[in-house]
Amino acid sequence: MSRTRTAMLAALALVAGASGTAFAVVPGDVGVAAIPCTVDYKVQNQWDTGFTAAVTVTNNSAAKTSWSLKWSYAGNQKVTSAWNAKVSQSGTAVTAGNETYNGTLATGGSAGFGFQGSYSGTNAIPATFTLDGVTCNVDGGGGPTDPPDPTGPKVDNPYSGAKVYVNPEWSAKAAAEPGGSRISNQPTGVWLDRIAAINGVNGGMGLRAHLDEALRQKGSGELVVQLVIYNLPGRDCAALASNGELGPTEIDKYKTQYIDPIAAILADPKYAALRIVNTIEIDSLPNLVTNTGSRPTATPECDVMKANGNYQKGVGYALNKLGDAPNVYNYIDAGHHGWIGWDDNFAPSAALFKEAATTEGATVNDVHGFITNTANYSALKENNFTINDSVGGKSVRESSWVDWNRYVDELSFAQAFRNQLVTTGFNSGIGMLIDTSRNGWGGTARPAGPGALTDVNTYVNGGRYDRRIHIGNWCNQSGAGLGERPQANPAAGIDAYVWMKPPGESDGSSQFIENPEGKGFDRMCDPTYTGNTRNGFNMSGALPNAPISGHWFSAQFQELMKNAYPAL
């Protein structure tokens, strides 16, 4: 239900005649007085105790170099924060003045700003506005009369019709690189990879600082903020470079010192106008499918996490707590096609995700979708061969590269896995995200067409865009390039292509480096390493001289730009 109130306070003006008598001038009469200004005041979001509003003021009189808009509330509304205007309040009287960058108002020009407020009881739209002391008409207004259901409704795709937050810290690093200004305005994920990151590490921005900056970037439109929730107990049990600060049994600390503080910040009404996308615990649940038990890739650490159930408990708790706010959208990490695309991983992974999404009070309604290829390199679309091709009587699936996988690229996998997730019990409206930050594989090594038909391996290897030595290689890959730029609704079932992993941030150090962040040294990041079961005992393909994970790696950033596809 919505309400709209239109008040034409100056539509019928009384104008003094020559004789001193007053007469009415009706609209359309040549003597009508021009409406000096109009105000469009809209309540955008409203809940039990608060609301956000967007205001647009249009100046129909002489041009201005500064402006001041005033109104009064009939109820107990209080403005708590604002953007694109300096807003103050005394009692029920509110004054909104221009910022230095939007003070100019030409004749017919408009300025917009937004704010967040609190209220109780009713939230009536103000009846009168004045611009520099002159009464305006209310061009329109509206908003919900009843607070929305706190669990919804959510939009089908949060990325549709929205800008996406540009992290100023990453943007500054990118812009400082030669040629980096070409991509420094791209949106990337904000990684909350330890408890300290919530308040900011080493003088950097914390979660509130990012959200405050997002409100500034938002303006009067919609804006998505992308957060990576990444601090499970015993995190990333199969890759030492991304180990975390919490031990395998510290699930209570994860809940009370990590998830609860994040949830409290996201639930702050100040941020209700933002669309907040959480990507939940990268590389966690797939490890329980592929790296446990009797599998040749199993690790003792992953067996421990499967036995204690803390990955499922942590993911479920995060989904439950973070999904309470109507403007928060949770996407669970779903590995990538080179991880769970095989028959014995595909359906079991979906079943495990369902288990996690229905524990610790979570339900499938707390899951808006899934994300694949996060911080990985799998090609988005292989155009030079398909899974159905054969050479010399042998299927592409028999090639050493594909190795009986059902999928040859990330797009086909994400679309198929979405269907499997729905079949497993997730809502039919779920959407997929694909991280394209490092899977472009352009540059001079990019094949121009299919490989030779000599045999199935020559055919696949000659035509594949993904130039890794082995699909199991994941650390700071040599030859990689930026992929498709972030965009909404790029393909059926795909909510967006995103750059969740900020290009230029290392996957792990090339050699052991002492650090206070709990980051281990993984030989898969060592360019001299000859491999293990997970990569077929091939060379790691990693770049040399890399810093610890998450730290800026200039050489990688330059390589990603050089090999970008589409090219920069």
Task: Compute φ and ψ for 153, nearest 5 degrees.
Answer: -80, 155
Instruction: To the nearest 10°, report the CA torsion of 314, 320, 326, 332.
Output: 40
- In eight-state DSSP terms, residue 346 is H
Q: Active-site residue numbers? A: 283, 507
DSSP string, 401-441: TTTT-S-SSHHHHHHHHHHHHHHHT--TT-EEEEE-TT---
Residue with tokens 């015993």, as numbered in its chain = 234
Q: Would you call 3 helix, strand, or coil by DSSP?
A: strand
The span from the CA of 43 to the CA of 116, in Å, is 10
DSSP string, 259-314: IHHHHHHHT-GGGTTSEEEEEE-TTSHHHHHHSSTTSTT--HHHHHHHHH-HHHHH
291 Cβ partners below 8 Å, 6+ apart? 237, 238, 297, 298, 299, 302
Residue with tokens 């990490």, as numbered in its chain = 333
Sign of CA dihedral 103, 107, 112, 115: positive
| Apex 113 CA angle, 64 and 181, nearest 5 | 95
From 437, 476, 417, 551, select the one nearest 164 (Cα to Cα): 437
Sign of CA dihedral 59, 61, 64, 66: negative
Establish whether the linkage from the previous residue to 153 is cis, with ω within 30° of 0.
Answer: yes
From 535, 520, 538, select the one nearest 297 (Cα to Cα): 535
Task: Compute φ and ψ for 500, nearest 5 degrees.
Answer: -70, -40
Written as one letter, the residue type at 51 is F
Q: What's 175-220 look like in SS3?
A: HHCCCHHHCCCCCCCEEECCHHHHCCCCCCCCHHHHHHHHHHHHCC
Q: 527: which 2 tokens?
A: 């360019």
On whether the CB atoms of residues 237 and 291 are closer than 8 A, the answer is: yes
The span from the CA of 53 to the CA of 40, in Å, is 10
| N-terminal to C-terminal alpha carbon distance within the chain | 47
Sign of CA dihedral 365, 366, 368, 374: negative
> What Rg, from alpha-carbon coordinates, does the chain have?
28
Residue with tokens 């700003």, as numbered in its chain = 113
> Which region, left, alpha or beta, applies to residue 425 given φ > 0 means left and ψ of -120 to 50 means alpha?
left
